[in-house]
């Protein structure tokens, strides 16, 4: 599964200055690797100041996940209209968490010529908050810090539990809970932090689409644990919308993906509100819409099941060579929104925060300004 990359927009007046600003600059990366987080929606100005006097909430996680995905047949480049889709308008309902690497970079680098572009095109957008480290003692408080922040503003946070055992099949983002019993307990504690307000849960990227590496028995056990996870999350907060891993349009066939999703509980409203696709990938929005509808049709279940799509860096489509690691020539996709205007497509989300490297143009999981700037111009 290809890891999500950074995205940034360039301003014409400073385009010529980018070549002099590479990753060797001490100001290009923000802090140690951390998981995808997003800026606060209303508590911060468009161009945040460098004086964060507010006490930060507990950090959601310590490292941004880097997951090399299946090399898949790339989708065609999007139509011209899609490539020009504006990312300037922020949804009035999605939440931007105030603790993020991009905000840290913006605060620390006010004189950088890329500052205005990164601040307005990335830091101004809501994005998901990942919980990728197995820390059962603190997970409830960390999730609650995000969900309560969203509730206080009347916004919808997007949270990503990412601790399934044997995640990434031993790849770059290997790790997670030591076993399924431990994972079940971790999910119970995660659910306890969801609160009572609206929240979107993107449940375990890769956990279904990348299950090929597991034995048949281990796969069945994982799927049973995922089905339980969905039930626990929705029981803890009936307003939580839980979405299951559908991979992306260049990976498994809709029929195969739907069969696995059904085993994982995605067809039951007791555990699921539908599926998600394209997390950390580049396939076009139009391609993902068509694919997700095929998956949902094959999945069955009630018509209320929908899909959410990661549009954080799919504005130029997937690379022709299938490259997943910080590929050049990619662009920001559509702005995050809960109003897609498409049947059965519930949201366009930035699940992977643009600007956080896959590991090729910066340290894995670290916000890398040069790559973010390249993606956004």
Note whether 200 and 168 are within 8 A (CB).
no
Query: What is the secondary structure of 332-359 as a DSSP string?
Result: --SPPBS---STTEEEEE--SPTTB--S
Q: How many CA atoms lie within 13 A of 323 on its CB side?
A: 13
CA–CA gap between residue 187 and residue 175 (Å, rounded): 16
CA–CA gap between residue 152 and residue 180 (Å, rounded): 34
Determine how many CB atoms are found less than 10 A away from the CB of residue 52: 14
Query: What is the secondary structure of 87-109 as a DSSP string?
Result: --PPPSSB---S--HHHHHHHH-
Q: What letters, b where the CB count within 10 A reaches 16 and e where it falls short, cover 177-188?
A: beebeebeebbb
* Catalytic sites, residue numbers: 168, 206, 358
Query: What is the secondary structure of 277-289 as a DSSP string?
Result: E-TT----HHHHH
CA–CA gap between residue 119 and residue 49 (Å, rounded): 11
Note whether 350 and 336 are within 8 A (CB).
yes
- Return the ∠ at Cα 153 (arms to 148 and 159), rounded to 5°: 50
Query: Is 160 strand, coil or helix?
Result: strand
- Which residues are within 8 A (CB) of 262 and not within 5 positions of it... i.e. 6 or more apart? 299, 300
């Amino acid at each position: 599964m290809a890891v999500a990359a950074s995205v940034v927009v360039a301003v014409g007046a400073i385009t010529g200055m980018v070549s002099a600003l590479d990753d060797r600059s001490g100001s290009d990366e923000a802090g140690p690797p951390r998981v995808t987080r997003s800026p606060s929606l209303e508590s911060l100005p468009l161009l945040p100041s460098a004086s964060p006097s507010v006490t930060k909430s507990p950090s959601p996680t310590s490292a941004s996940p880097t997951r090399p995905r299946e090399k898949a047949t790339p989708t065609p480049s999007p139509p011209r209209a899609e490539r020009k889709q504006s990312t300037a308008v922020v949804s009035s309902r999605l939440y931007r968490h105030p603790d993020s690497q991009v905000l840290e970079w913006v605060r620390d680098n006010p004189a950088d010529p890329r500052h205005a572009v990164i601040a307005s095109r990335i830091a101004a957008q809501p994005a998901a908050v990942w919980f990728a480290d197995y820390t059962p003692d603190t997970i409830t408080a960390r999730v609650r810090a995000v969900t309560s922040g969203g509730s206080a503003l009347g916004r919808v946070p997007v949270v990503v539990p990412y601790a399934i055992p044997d995640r990434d099949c031993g790849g770059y983002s290997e790790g997670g809970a030591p076993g399924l019993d431990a994972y079940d307990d971790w999910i119970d504690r995660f659910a306890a932090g969801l609160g009572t307000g609206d929240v979107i849960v993107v449940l375990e990227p890769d956990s279904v689409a990348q299950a090929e590496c597991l034995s048949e028995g281990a796969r069945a056990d994982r799927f049973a644990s995922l089905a339980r996870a969905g039930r626990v999350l929705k029981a803890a907060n009936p307003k939580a919308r839980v979405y299951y891993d559908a991979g992306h349009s260049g990976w498994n066939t809709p029929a195969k993906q739907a069969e696995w999703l059904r085993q994982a509980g995605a067809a039951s409203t007791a555990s699921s509100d539908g599926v998600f696709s394209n997390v950390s990938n580049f396939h076009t929005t139009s391609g993902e819409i068509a694919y997700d509808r095929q998956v949902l049709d094959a999945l069955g279940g009630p018509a209320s099941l929908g899909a959410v799509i990661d549009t954080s860096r799919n504005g130029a489509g997937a690379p022709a060579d299938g490259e997943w690691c910080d590929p050049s020539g990619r662009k920001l996709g559509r702005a995050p929104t809960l109003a897609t205007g498409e049947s059965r497509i519930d949201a366009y989300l930035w699940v992977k925060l643009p600007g956080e490297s896959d590991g090729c143009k910066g340290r894995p999981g670290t916000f890398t300004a040069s790559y973010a700037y390249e993606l956004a111009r």
